[in-house]
Structure 1
C-alpha cells in the first residue's frame, strides 16, 4: 500500500535515512529488491520502499496466532514508525486514504 509523505518530510528519508530510521525503531533490517525488510512482534514481515519524497510503499504480513499483547505492541510500533516516516498520524493517514478511495485513486 502506498502512503503519502508530508511535504518537506521526505528529505529525511533520502539516502540512508529510511534504513537508519528502521534500524533505530526495529533493530535488524535487510535490503531486498530495493526495499527494507524486518520483522517485529506479531508482524512477521514488514517491507518498506522509498518511492519518492512524497510517497512510501509499505507491505506487512502478520502472525494470525500471535497473542493479543503482541498484536497491540506491533500495532503501536507500526504507528510510531509511520508517524516518523510519513509525518502523518494514523488518523491523518486514514483520512487521506479515504479521500483517495472516494476519488478512485486507489
Structure 2
C-alpha cells in the first residue's frame, strides 16, 4: 500500500517535469519566432501597391441615380419609388450583395432583402 503512494508521487513528479519542459520549449519557440518576424525587412521593390479607387472615392460621394435608363424599359417599374428602383438596379444590374446595397441606400440589410 505504501509503495503504491510512492509510485503515484514519483509518476506525478515525472509528469510535472515533462509538462514544465514542454512549456519552456514552447515559450522559447514563441519568442524566437517573434524575434525572427520582427527583424524581417521587406524590400520596397518587392512590395506591390494597389489603389482601390472605390475605397478612396466612397460610394456616398457619388451622385445618386435619379433616372435609371435600364429600368425605364419596363413600364411597370415606373410605379416604384426612386429608392426601390435604385435597389433593383444595384441588385440585378450591378450584381451587388444585400449588404452593399444596404450601405449604399442607408438602410438595413433586412430591408433590402
Please identify which structure carries the higher strand content.
1
Assess same fold via TM > 0.5: no
TM-score, normalization by structure 1: 0.23
Please identify which structure carries the higher helix content.
2
Higher relative contact order (CA 8 A, sep 6+): 1
Larger Rg: 1 or 2?
2
TM-score, normalization by structure 2: 0.22
